[in-house]
Structure 1
């Protein structure tokens, strides 16, 4: 049986006196990938955007999609790094990603799919994963690959989880409540 794969996306809030970085990973058995892709495509429906994205959704849409994701009954691993100063989110991302890799390895994951960004930023992710392997048992295989959000509906699950965690951190807990039983959250310092 193949190990589960994780699909990651982020949300962050920069602030001169704090801020935070949320990196969420949906841990999904390969046997459910096709099913969950179809569900997420159905949830997106006829939206103009090529992908489902947390921010443009209205309040009710966010509540509905969070409930659908919670019904998947799959594990979501989330690292929350703080503080995040303006223009320092990449450092926070690297630290959150390194910790996420260690946590995912502990959950039996050996492949992380992250939403593709610019080539140099994707390379930073690869370097962060390479660095994280120093904290894993010798000989551990763990890889990261990048896919565009418009091409991979499983990334939308992580976007929803990251959005719900960010909403909770900024005072809107209702979006996170349905997910509370399936999210393993790790808080960490991400000093600048």
Structure 2
């Protein structure tokens, strides 16, 4: 993943920074990783309540990951306050018994963890597919599990 980063001086690989030939290479690498990808999308999102939407999606993501027996969930770090909100969501899910396993959430700096870049790639490919551009979606369709959450 690091070798595919453009420009090579960028702290992380970001889909918006890539040209089409590089995008194709990146998607191919992501498709070849021995992994399954889970996407939880909450809609509709009230722009004034984005953190609520994130919290609901994170709760659902944790439930899925628990059912897959995932022990560690790496999430791209944000600000200290927002990271704390994510951890509060995990703790609340434990207290309410929505999750019961020993899954841990850790925030990672995208500059140090190339696997954090995969989420950006998956989100971009999914958005392209939803808008009718199926150019990369076929490469990932057998590896992608989607859960759409109604936020109303």
Using structure 2 for the length normalisation, give the TM-score. 0.89
Tell me if structure 2 keeps the 8 A contact 1:51–1:150: yes
Tell me if structure 2 keeps the 8 A contact 1:99–1:132: no
Q: Distance in 2 between matches of 1:162 and 1:97?
A: 15
Instruction: Rate the CA distance shift 1:185–1:105 in 2: closer, same or farther, 3 A.
Output: same
Q: Residue 149 of structure 1: SS of its match in structure 2?
A: coil
Instruction: Rate the CA distance shift 1:144–1:68 in 2: closer, same or farther, 3 A.
Output: same
Q: Which residue of 2 aligns with 1:136?
A: 99
Q: Which residue of 2 aligns with 1:87?
A: 48
Instruction: Rate the CA distance shift 1:131–1:176 in 2: closer, same or farther, 3 A.
Output: farther
Using structure 1 for the length normalisation, give the TM-score. 0.72
Q: 1:150 aligns with which of 111, 115, 126?
A: 111
Q: Distance in 2 between matches of 1:142 and 1:73?
A: 20
Give the CA deviation at 1:168: 2.0
- Over the residues paired in the alignment, what is the CA RMSD in angstroms? 1.6
Q: Which residue of 1 aligns with 2:131?
A: 170
More strand by share: 1
More helix by share: 2
Q: Which residue of 1 aligns with 2:2?
A: 41
Tell me if structure 2 keeps the 8 A contact 1:76–1:184: yes
Structure 1 unaligned regions, length at least 5: 1-39
Q: Distance in 1 between matches of 2:55 and 2:66?
A: 17
Structure 2 unaligned regions, length at least 5: none
Please list the CA deviations of residues 114-153 of structure 1 after superposition, one character each: whole Å capped at 9, or x if unmatched: 111011110111111222332123xx21221111101111
State the aligned residue count: 150
